[in-house]
Structure 1
Amino acid sequence: MNGVLWVLQIGLMLIFVMDGVLKAFQYEIAKENIPWVRDVPKSLVIFVGYVEIVAGLGLIIPIVYEHFRILTPISSFIFVVLMFFATIFHYNRKEYIDIPFNITLLLMALFVMIGSMFF
């Protein structure tokens, strides 16, 4: 079970850190490639990018520092909340194509959160 959790944690970290770097540090590129970025304030996009980077790193820090195991469920919870609101956001914008991906990431983060607390 731990192997599955680590694979999911690393996968989520890669997805969210890469996406977060794009939003936080390459705003103009994000604005060109992600439709919703044009319609929300720049500060919100950058904030979401930083949250994705920090929480993504929180998923893998326990690999190196066993003392920080509490970061995994906290980071996973942040992603669950983020993906929940992203799903609602895309639904309200009628961007139905994005919703299955958001729900998949939400379920992966939920699995990691529960699994890291009990295994």
Structure 2
Amino acid sequence: MNTVLWILQIVLALIFLGAGLLKTTRSLAALETRVGGWVHDVPLPVIRLTGVAEVLGAAGLILPRGLDVAPALTYLAAGGLAIAMVGGMVVHAKRGEHKEVAVNVVLLLLTLFVAVGRF
């Protein structure tokens, strides 16, 4: 079980690190090209804050357990990312973007699995 959790943590960390870096470093026009038109429904500061939270969440999935420093932060990071996925589901559902909602649901379930597994 530990191996499965580590694999999931690494995969999720890479996904959220990439998404977070996009949201924190790209212009609104570049974001629209990469992630879609939803960026016009959300204020840019909220997008940037979400990106920072995703980068920190990615670090929280790996570093606490990897360094054996405050390992409880791992399940808290996974829980925080799960909450972010609920927010993403709401944004995409309002826009009728069902494929993106499905992606958020899968990421939500995986982050919840890690959170429960590491609790």
What TM-score do you get using the length of structure 2 for normalisation? 0.92
CA root-mean-square deviation: 1.2
Report runs of 4+ in structure 1 exceeding 4 Å deviation.
none
Instruction: Indicate conservation of the 8 Å contact 2:81/2:111, yes or no.
Output: yes
Q: Does the aligned pair in 2 maintain the 1:27–1:46 contact within 8 Å?
A: no
What is the Cα deviation at residue 77 of structure 1?
0.5
The structure 2 residue matched to 1:81, chosen from 78, 83, 86, is: 83
TM-score, normalization: structure 1?
A: 0.92
For structure 1, list consecutive stretches of 5 or more residues without a partner in the other structure: none
Shift of 1:62: 2.5
Task: Give the % identical residues.
Answer: 34
AA of the residue aligned to 2:7: V
Q: What CA distance in whole angstroms lies between the structure 1 residues aligned with 2:66 and 2:3?
A: 15
Aligned to 1:32: 33
Question: Deviation at 1:32?
Answer: 2.6
Tell me by how many angstroms 1:63 deviates.
4.2
Structure 2: state its 5+ residue gaps: none
Q: Distance in 2 between matches of 1:64 and 1:19?
A: 22
1:1-119 map, 5 Å = 1-28=1-28, 29-34=30-35, 35-117=37-119
